[in-house]
Chain A
């Protein structure tokens, strides 16, 4: 069942656009974005490989159960809350920025708060389903959306309007030293594996993730597309001006013979789906972490234990997200996103290394 692993990897790597990753990288295009990307590929791949090793050691166990095995309850509980918080921030930023994006490109007259209430209402519904349902949802979402997104990306790469000189110019800046924000942003592309903190519960005992070489290849391909295609379309200088750089890039594409002429609508709707799936899956994991705080909680993949708690938690999360949008503007969201991406990278490295030690210990003792 390796494919369920790859769905998450690809989902997260495609979703980077929603978290301003291209914008952060483009801002540092002359100050080491290229080297940071190369470094991120190494870090991301190493993390993913280590994590798959850990998963294989604990089949059918989520991170709460694994931590419970090795650490005392008093230590585990704060970690759970912290992890849940990490899982809330990323998807919520994506959801908030998407609500703003809808306001900018689809419905200029509807307030983003209203749109966000709709979106988070939907995510509450989806996030409180069973873990198995979410796995199916991610699968269906990827099967429906991925071909169309791939089509848009290929269309962009093959477009006449792309200026390869601009791309080569930026690529020439490969001698600059990498910097933290760019590495943090670029390594986000590879971070899909962390979803298996919870989804590992679904994995059968004899799991082996095959074709792992896909990860560095697909990851770097998406990273390169994310970074270079907007530069090709908007040049080395003007590209920095656009906040939603990929939406504008999609708008620069045309399907002369398509039913819909403008690619941007397809692009926006596909990304709406991806954002909703990502948020639902992220919130679901946050909820599962929070549920695991209770001693009476027994994880189950196709039933929803403690349904009421799940609803309460997700409603609180959704409310926080809406309140956030109400008080915080785009500029701050952008800054927070940048810091969160770097912070996240360190937390993930810490988590993976710790779990790796546990996994070694677990095998030695048994």
Chain B
């Protein structure tokens, strides 16, 4: 066995192969030292073998951790997953001794909540499932495993509540994952783009989260969860637009305040999408929309600006986007410096230099801040883009152009489906006995 393994994995320096012998028998052991917990190897194999208190053969056959592997083609794959191969009298056994380097007790960082769970999903599949199962102690919780990626062989778990899940969604997910053609899979975001029906969608049709409480409440709502080995994020599907506007805190905090916050988020989204284009439309086409005072003060503060309004907007948006991007990319220690310097420049100097008007600075900061009220990060990023296309109709058609642009977005949203489920339907299906529209066709 060892010879074969050594020829397959000749390039791997961290491959450990031993042929050891005690009084009675000889075994062959192979594992990749960097992937395995060496203490496990010695505890389970080397020590009992050398001590030989209980007959090692018996030991191996009694211990359920040792599984017989008959398919020789799978040797390398199992080794690469952190298993130890043991050959004893012609039979090959495997032992899981994987040591996965991950952050211990991960804290929620991307999607924080004040009173929700502070622990996030783990980068290790087993730990994540542990976290989920302990919060969802139901025998109906089904876990299926698939391997995705010709090269990465990434393990992907499909988790769902078998009683509540929508079978049509489940079948579609299974089919999609089965038919994936990809070499390397590393993150749920990548998986989302691979299995969504529109490759260039403006909106995410699946939710990415690190929060176990969001995962379990979605399970309870009959949704399907996908976990990817090596990433502490889960993919929830199907999702509607409104799910993305919903923070987990909304269920924990005071009722009225959370309703108010939900409204605030929608207003924030509308503002962040609309303000830049509205600014152009109103300043350059319909200044009569403002109150007189506002119109005069904008005209006054703009009089030093040599550019047309859309150049002004583009300068400011470029600056603010660079600032956001920089603070994501920079190491944490320098990050705060960048924002301070950037903020100062945006706030004061640009206006004094006559590059932009003071109203534009307010517009920019409102746009940036209200973008971040969206609780789910992948929606927040999607929404960040939406303001740019609207600028074009605003330049050519003013207010009417902006309204038309918004209309296109609404049509697009109404046309989106998340795994066959409507994405942008405000009122869910009503009572079952009255039937839902579109049923005749689906049946």
* A/B contact in complex, CB under 8 angstroms: yes
The contact of B437 among A144, A203, A261, A300, by CB within 8 Å, is: A203
Q: Which of chain A's residues have a CB closer than 8 A to the CB of B439?
A: 204-205
Q: How far is the CA of A132 from the CA of B416 in the complex (A)?
A: 11
Counting chain A residues whose Cβ lies within 8 A of the other chain, the interface size class is 35 or more
Q: Can you report 16 A-B residue pairs in the complex whose CB atoms are below 8 A from each other?
A: A59-B440, A106-B399, A118-B393, A125-B408, A126-B408, A134-B414, A139-B427, A140-B424, A141-B410, A202-B438, A203-B435, A204-B434, A265-B399, A272-B403, A280-B411, A301-B440
A107 within 8 A of B: yes
Which residue of chain A has its CB nearest to the CB of B440? A60
B397 within 8 A of A: yes
Q: How many residue-residue contacts, CB under 8 A, span A and B? A: 125
A132 and B437: CB pair below 8 A?
yes
Q: Which of chain B's residues have a CB closer than 8 A to the CB of A144?
A: 410
Q: Which of chain A's residues have a CB closer than 8 A to the CB of B398?
A: 106-107, 110
B441 and A143: CB pair below 8 A?
no
The contact of A122 among B404, B413, B415, B427, by CB within 8 Å, is: B404
Besides A1-B430, A137-B410, 6 new A-B residue pairs in contact (Cβ under 8 A), listed by A number = A107-B285, A107-B399, A143-B426, A201-B441, A261-B291, A269-B403
- The minimal Cβ–Cβ distance linking A268 to chain B, given in whole angstroms, is 8
Q: How far is the CA of A272 from the CA of B397 in the complex (A)?
A: 13
Q: How far is the CA of A204 from the CA of B426 in the complex (A)?
A: 19
Q: Which of chain A's residues have a CB closer than 8 A to the CB of B411?
A: 122, 125-126, 129, 133, 137, 280
Q: Which of chain B's residues have a CB closer than 8 A to the CB of A203?
A: 435, 437, 440
Which residue of chain A has its CB nearest to the CB of B405? A122
- The minimal Cβ–Cβ distance linking B108 to chain A, given in whole angstroms, is 33
Q: Which of chain A's residues have a CB closer than 8 A to the CB of B182?
A: none
B441 and A301: CB pair below 8 A?
yes
By a beta-carbon cutoff of 8 Å, the part of chain B in contact with chain A is 285-286, 288-289, 291, 393, 396-401, 403-404, 407-408, 410-411, 413-415, 417, 422, 424-427, 430, 433-442
The contact of B438 among A2, A140, A208, A302, by CB within 8 Å, is: A302
With A115-B397, A125-B411, A280-B411 known to touch, is A262 a contact of B425 (CB < 8 Å)? Answer: no
With A1-B436, A140-B414, A301-B438 known to touch, is A272 a contact of B404 (CB < 8 Å)? Answer: yes
Q: Which of chain B's residues have a CB closer than 8 A to the CB of A126?
A: 407-408, 411
The contact of A106 among B285, B424, B430, by CB within 8 Å, is: B285
A133 and B415: CB pair below 8 A?
yes
Which residue of chain A has its CB nearest to the CB of B437? A202
Which residue of chain A has its CB nearest to the CB of B429? A1
A129 and B442: CB pair below 8 A?
no
- The minimal Cβ–Cβ distance linking A262 to chain B, given in whole angstroms, is 7
B289 and A262: CB pair below 8 A?
yes
Which residue of chain B has its CB nearest to the CB of A144? B410
Which residue of chain A has its CB nearest to the CB of B406? A273
Q: Which of chain A's residues have a CB closer than 8 A to the CB of B407?
A: 122, 126, 272-273, 276-277
Interface residues in A181-209 by Cβ distance below 8 A to B read 201-208
A205 and B422: CB pair below 8 A?
no
Interface residues in A50-83 by Cβ distance below 8 A to B read 59-60
Q: Which of chain B's residues have a CB closer than 8 A to the CB of A1?
A: 430, 434-437
With A140-B414, A203-B437, A265-B286 known to touch, is A106 a contact of B400 (CB < 8 Å)? Answer: yes
Q: Which of chain B's residues have a CB closer than 8 A to the CB of A205?
A: 435, 439-440
B437 and A204: CB pair below 8 A?
yes
A206 and B415: CB pair below 8 A?
no
Contact flags A226-247 to B (C-beta < 8 A → 1, else 0): 0000000000000000000000
A140 and B435: CB pair below 8 A?
no
Q: How far is the CA of A149 from the CA of B411 in the complex (A)?
A: 20
